[in-house]
């Protein structure tokens, strides 16, 4: 086999010791950047004891923390209990560990410390720090980073090589590897604006929306099936996916993006009332509300009313997590134990969604739920009425003809009648929200979260800690097409005065460029989350986003043009390793493995098999029979797509909750059941086995070998150089070239010994498969 590039040890070992009031010890964990030690001393156990009991116990163990299973669950449970300090800091970290979150006791009452929590404060104008007079000119982002480094006597790494910068940008912005020609062109471009032009070209690429749209789909638990035993399909869910991709490619202002998803149906109805045509913007506003229909749905719940509240809870959790980065859902059954959200806050927020028709409706006579009215025509009501009338007229005329026709003519008329009845309307449909405005549904605080124990009635309102003006809720009009309740919520979420919205999305963008956000817990800006490592920089980015009209591409561009983003990943500065081992201060770029979709898409791009077609109904790639056999017979099976369609980008693959593509699942695909602002990044043996032995990998290796043979010439050195160029965008070293030639000869000899045909072809295929499996191929350095 070829030598593997040197990679850091990605194994973390966790040892926990708890007995009486003794110190709990440390957690040694690979953070995705380096090893860090989290101290959780005596305070952790004494504080957690009221929650977990006073009986002393002993527990010790050694776990691989980056693997799935018990270790990760245990660590998450201990963190949620406060037994593990967050964030994790190096032994000599320049940052101070946070105090443990204080458990709220007794009745709920907002305190000054609640209102003073950093995330609930207005975004402060942040001026880049002034560096010493001899410092070179730098961007505002670099000034914030450099100032923090200089305060600790540290300095930033030198820039990465041009090849590394290009690969990093291509992976991060469009999710595909660059071609050899693209890397060569950038390396040879000596102009001062070469990097700037490269960044602009990537942000202008339609692949940008596909790459960053997938990040958003993680946040809104996007899937195209309902889950549970039947796992039935959600009709037209792909239109929401295409809406997200199109919105990002068009650089739609983020505040408008919010408004359309929260209250797009109400906006669209207002536009029609004002005489606006049903154009693409109008359709987008309707399609955007599909966010309300993407949740897991049980068609046979024990209680329909309980299931309805579960669905509403899912909407509330998704909304508060994706847009606000808070854990408001924790207040469903009781006041939040740490953050200033009461149970009344929870149900007042839920009241904004109370008039939404549930996804399912009870069948008369019992027997489970059928889907309710969950789709809507993407045309005006007048057009729908006109089509319905025309269809009714055609059917009526044919029925009259049928009644008067002679026996020999009836068959033809019956066929025409059936065709008229089955005729599809000439307009599209979308999975959307339907707001039942005919009657106001009251919202009660449910005692202990029980659907059958309603308490005090509440009205739609924002959480009290924000001191926001009362929501102007219109009275419910029985003749209106919507209750109008969600428009005020959308306006509040998208307001520049909202302290969370811009911070949360700016942090999410930063996270995907550095592997970790300025707030390392992107979905929790509350007390159980981690504090920002550079709060001034976070406020600067949030303020810039707002001042530039909520245009996300401008924020991307500013981050990409910074020297902080372009620096190398080398961890060779001894002083920095001693003082900031976990790289909180960003003295180097973080080494990152690409996500599961990028692994698959890269294999397709390298082999030359990628189908770049965009949009439309989702694709069903072929699956092994063993995987098909895991489906429940009660559910609808996996579809079949033409072979030419199966090599499209992974964002266009059908997302079935009970049946995920094995290659994507093993490389940590999103769980699709709840909002996920940050995926796990595991390193486990099945990944290597899948990448080597999966049918998809084998097919791409064969196509890769055919491409290398066409483009690399007949000589072995020429083929090897072309294979390296396509896979990792560089020439092999002399040692790699010698080993690759020896590998080809060895594999060919093995093929001959086994009486296999075309041993040279099989040997080249094995070489290409080995290159696809290099760590360098799927790591952004």
The answer, yes or no, to whether residue 57 has pLDDT greater than 60, is no
Instruction: Write down which residue in 467, 493, 519 finishes a domain.
Output: 493
Comparing C-alpha atoms, which of 655, 628, 661, 670 is closest to residue 233?
A: 655
Alpha-carbon torsion (55, 60, 66, 70), positive or negative: negative
8 Å CB contact between 430 and 236: yes
The answer, yes or no, to whether residue 405 has pLDDT greater than 90, is no
What region does 278 belong to: left with phi over 0, alpha with psi -120 to 50, or beta? beta
The answer, yes or no, to whether residue 39 has pLDDT greater than 50, is no
- % of the chain with per-residue pLDDT over 90: 63
Q: Which long-range contacts (CB under 8 A, 24 or more apart) does 636-639 make?
A: 636/230, 636/231, 636/232, 636/233
Instruction: Note the pLDDT of residue 42.
Output: 34
| Residues 561, 29: Cα–Cα separation, whole Å | 31
Collect all residues with Cβ–Cβ distance below 8 Å to 76 and sequence separation of at least 6: none
Instruction: Note the pLDDT of residue 404.
Output: 72
Question: In this structure, is residue 240 part of a structural domain?
Answer: no
Q: How confident is the model at residue 97 (pLDDT cuts 50, 70, 90)?
A: low
The answer, yes or no, to whether residue 622 has pLDDT greater than 50, is yes
Q: Do 773 and 737 fall into the same domain?
A: yes
The answer, yes or no, to whether residue 66 has pLDDT greater than 90, is no
Q: Do 311 and 354 fall into the same domain?
A: yes
Element of type H or E holding 38: strand 35-39
Q: Who wins on pLDDT, 372 or 158? A: 158
Give residue-wise pLDDT tens across range 722-750. Answer: 999 999 999 999 999 999 999 999 999 98
Instruction: Note the pLDDT of residue 90.
Output: 37
Angle at 691 between CA 689 and CA 694, to 5 degrees: 80
Q: Which DSSP state fits 66? A: T
Q: Do 323 and 414 fall into the same domain?
A: no
Lowest mean pLDDT among 127-136, 146-155, 368-377, 630-639: 630-639
| Residues 706, 608: Cα–Cα separation, whole Å | 10
- % of the chain with per-residue pLDDT over 70: 80
Q: How confident is the model at residue 777 (pLDDT cuts 50, 70, 90)?
A: very high
Lowest mean pLDDT among 208-212, 391-395, 642-646: 391-395
Q: Do 699 and 733 fall into the same domain?
A: yes
Q: How confident is the model at residue 589 (pLDDT cuts 50, 70, 90)?
A: very high
8 Å CB contact between 726 and 704: yes
Question: In this structure, is residue 606 part of a structural domain?
Answer: no
Lowest mean pLDDT among 16-25, 209-218, 479-488: 16-25
Q: How confident is the model at residue 139 (pLDDT cuts 50, 70, 90)?
A: very high
- DSSP string over 347-405: HHHHGGGTTBPPSEEEPTTSS-EEE-S-EEESS-HHHHHHHHHHHHHHHHHHHHHHHHS
Question: In this structure, is residue 84 part of a structural domain?
Answer: no
Q: Do 724 and 771 fall into the same domain?
A: yes
Q: Who wins on pLDDT, 101 or 194? A: 194
8 Å CB contact between 432 and 268: no
Q: How confident is the model at residue 396 (pLDDT cuts 50, 70, 90)?
A: confident
Strand-pair partners of 370: 361
Instruction: Note the pLDDT of residue 582.
Output: 94
| Residues 300, 362: Cα–Cα separation, whole Å | 9
Comparing C-alpha atoms, which of 482, 521, 502 is closest to residue 357?
A: 482
Question: In this structure, is residue 329 part of a structural domain?
Answer: yes
Q: Do 444 and 344 fall into the same domain?
A: yes
Instruction: Note the pLDDT of residue 10.
Output: 33
Question: In this structure, is residue 580 part of a structural domain?
Answer: no
Instruction: Write down which residue in 493, 513, 536 finishes a domain.
Output: 493
8 Å CB contact between 41 and 26: no
State mean pLDDT over 150-156. Answer: 94
Q: Do 257 and 299 fall into the same domain?
A: yes
Q: How confident is the model at residue 64 (pLDDT cuts 50, 70, 90)?
A: very low
Q: Do 413 and 264 fall into the same domain?
A: no
Instruction: Note the pLDDT of residue 640.
Output: 86
Q: Who wins on pLDDT, 69 or 664? A: 664
Instruction: Write down which residue in 493, 519, 542 finishes a domain.
Output: 493
Q: Do 260 and 406 fall into the same domain?
A: no
Alpha-carbon torsion (159, 164, 169, 171), positive or negative: negative
State mean pLDDT over 517-542. Answer: 97
> Domains in the chain: how many in total?
3
| Residues 372, 359: Cα–Cα separation, whole Å | 6
| Residues 292, 317: Cα–Cα separation, whole Å | 11
Q: Do 299 and 405 fall into the same domain?
A: no
Collect all residues with Cβ–Cβ distance below 8 Å to 193 and sequence separation of at least 6: none
8 Å CB contact between 269 and 282: no
> How far, CA to CA in Å, does 115 sit from each of 102, 237, 341, 501?
15, 40, 11, 17
Instruction: Note the pLDDT of residue 274.
Output: 86
- Could you tell me how many residues make up the chain? 781
Q: Do 403 and 317 fall into the same domain?
A: no
The answer, yes or no, to whether residue 3 has pLDDT greater than 80, is no
State mean pLDDT over 207-223. Answer: 98
Lowest mean pLDDT among 134-138, 214-218, 744-748: 134-138
Q: How confident is the model at residue 477 (pLDDT cuts 50, 70, 90)?
A: low
Strand-pair partners of 225: 233
| Residues 657, 673: Cα–Cα separation, whole Å | 8
Question: In this structure, is residue 659 part of a structural domain?
Answer: no
Question: What's the whole-number average pLDDT of the chain?
Answer: 84
Work out the end-to-end distance of the chain between its first and last CA atoms, rounded to an integer number of angstroms: 23
Instruction: Note the pLDDT of residue 685.
Output: 94
CB-neighbour burial class of residue 130 (10 A; exposed 0-12, middle 13-18, buried 19+): exposed
Instruction: Note the pLDDT of residue 372.
Output: 64
Instruction: Note the pLDDT of residue 7.
Output: 36
Question: In this structure, is residue 33 part of a structural domain?
Answer: no
Strand-pair partners of 761: none
Q: Who wins on pLDDT, 12 or 780? A: 780
Instruction: Note the pLDDT of residue 418.
Output: 76
Instruction: Note the pLDDT of residue 18.
Output: 31
8 Å CB contact between 755 and 203: no
Give residue-wise pLDDT tens across range 359-379. Answer: 866 544 344 455 667 888 888
Question: Domain range spanning residue 394?
Answer: 389-425
Comparing C-alpha atoms, which of 539, 485, 468 is closest to residue 510?
A: 539
The answer, yes or no, to whether residue 772 has pLDDT greater than 50, is yes
State mean pLDDT over 634-641. Answer: 72
| Residues 199, 114: Cα–Cα separation, whole Å | 41
Instruction: Note the pLDDT of residue 17.
Output: 31
Q: How confident is the model at residue 411 (pLDDT cuts 50, 70, 90)?
A: confident
| Residues 152, 583: Cα–Cα separation, whole Å | 12
| Residues 309, 190: Cα–Cα separation, whole Å | 61
Comparing C-alpha atoms, which of 200, 262, 145, 235 is closest to residue 562?
A: 145
Interstrand relation of 375-377 and 369-371 (parallel, antiparallel or unpaired): unpaired
Q: Do 419 and 286 fall into the same domain?
A: no
State mean pLDDT over 292-320. Answer: 93
Instruction: Note the pLDDT of residue 722.
Output: 98
């Amino acid at each position: 086999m070829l030598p593997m590039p040197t990679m850091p040890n990605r194994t973390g070992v966790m040892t926990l010791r708890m007995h009486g009031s003794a110190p709990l010890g440390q957690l040694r964990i690979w953070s995705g950047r380096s090893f860090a030690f989290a101290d959780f001393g005596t305070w952790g156990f004494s504080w957690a004891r009221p929650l977990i009991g006073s009986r002393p116990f002993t527990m010790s163990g050694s776990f691989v923390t980056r693997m799935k299973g018990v270790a990760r669950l245990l660590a998450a449970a201990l963190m949620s209990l406060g037994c593990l300090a967050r964030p994790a800091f190096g032994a000599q970290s320049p940052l101070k560990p946070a105090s443990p979150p204080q458990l709220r006791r007794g009745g709920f009452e907002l305190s000054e410390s609640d209102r003073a929590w950093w995330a609930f404060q207005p975004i402060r104008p942040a001026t880049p720090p002034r560096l010493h007079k001899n410092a070179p000119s730098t961007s505002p982002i670099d000034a914030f980073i450099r100032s923090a480094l200089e305060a600790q006597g540290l300095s930033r790494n030198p820039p990465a090589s041009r090849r590394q910068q290009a690969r990093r940008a291509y992976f991060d912005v469009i999710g595909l590897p660059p071609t050899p020609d693209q890397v060569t062109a950038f390396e040879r471009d000596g102009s001062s604006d070469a990097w700037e032009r490269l960044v602009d070209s990537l942000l202008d690429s339609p692949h940008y929306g596909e790459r960053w749209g997938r990040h958003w789909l993680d946040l809104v638990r996007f899937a195209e099936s309902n889950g549970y035993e039947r796992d039935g399909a959600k009709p037209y869910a792909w239109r929401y996916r295409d809406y997200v991709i199109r919105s990002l490619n068009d650089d739609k202002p983020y505040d408008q993006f919010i408004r359309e998803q929260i209250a797009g149906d109400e906006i669209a109805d207002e536009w029609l009332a004002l005489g606006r045509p049903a154009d693409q913007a109008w359709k987008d506003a309707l399609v955007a509300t599909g966010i309300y229909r993407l949740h897991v749905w049980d068609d046979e719940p024990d209680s329909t009313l309980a299931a309805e509240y579960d669905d509403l809870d899912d909407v509330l959790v998704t909304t508060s997590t994706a847009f606000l980065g808070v854990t408001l859902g924790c207040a469903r059954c009781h006041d939040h134990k740490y953050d200033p959200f009461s149970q009344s806050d929870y149900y007042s927020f839920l009241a904004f969604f109370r008039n939404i028709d549930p996804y399912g409706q009870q069948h008369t006579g019992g027997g489970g739920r059928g889907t309710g009215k969950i789709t809507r025509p993407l045309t005006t009501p007048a057009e729908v009425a006109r089509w319905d009338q025309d269809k009714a007229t055609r059917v009526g005329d044919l029925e009259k003809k049928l009644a008067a026709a002679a026996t020999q003519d009836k068959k033809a008329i019956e066929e025409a009648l059936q065709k008229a009845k089955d005729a599809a309307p000439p307009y599209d449909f979308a999975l959307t929200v339907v707001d039942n405005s005919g009657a106001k549904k009251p919202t009660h605080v449910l005692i202990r979260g029980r659907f059958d124990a309603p308490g005090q009635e509440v009205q739609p309102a924002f959480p009290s800690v924000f001191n926001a003006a009362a929501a102007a809720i219109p009275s419910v009009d029985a003749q209106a097409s919507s209750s109008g309740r969600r428009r005020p919520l959308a306006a509040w979420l998208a307001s520049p005065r909202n302290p969370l919205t811009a911070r949360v999305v700016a942090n999410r963008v930063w996270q995907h460029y550095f592997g970790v956000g300025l707030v390392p817990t992107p979905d929790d800006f509350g007390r159980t989350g981690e504090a920002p490592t550079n709060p001034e920089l976070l406020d600067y980015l949030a303020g810039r986003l707002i001042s530039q009209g909520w245009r996300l591409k401008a924020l991307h561009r500013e981050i990409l043009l910074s020297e902080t983003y372009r620096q190398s990943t080398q961890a060779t500065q001894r002083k920095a390793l001693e003082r900031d081992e976990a790289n909180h201060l960003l003295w180097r770029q973080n080494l990152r493995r690409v996500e599961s979709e990028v692994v698959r898409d890269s294999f397709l791009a390298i082999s030359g098999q990628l189908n770049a077609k965009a949009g439309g109904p989702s694709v069903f790639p072929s699956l092994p029979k063993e995987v098909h056999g895991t489906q429940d017979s009660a559910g609808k099976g996996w579809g079949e797509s033409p072979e030419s369609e199966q090599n499209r980008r992974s964002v266009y693959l059908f997302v079935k909750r009970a049946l995920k593509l094995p290659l994507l699942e093993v490389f940590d695909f999103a769980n699709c059941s709840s909002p996920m602002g940050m995926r796990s990044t595991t390193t486990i043996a099945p990944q290597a086995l899948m990448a080597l032995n999966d049918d998809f990998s084998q097919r791409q290796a064969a196509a890769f070998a055919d491409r290398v043979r066409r483009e690399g010439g007949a000589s072995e050195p020429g083929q090897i150089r072309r294979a390296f160029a396509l896979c990792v965008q560089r020439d092999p070293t002399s040692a790699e070239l010698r080993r690759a030639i020896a590998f080809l000869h060895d594999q060919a000899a093995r093929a001959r010994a086994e009486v296999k045909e075309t041993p040279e072809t099989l040997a080249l295929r094995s070489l290409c498969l080995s290159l696809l499996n290099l760590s360098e191929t799927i790591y952004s350095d």
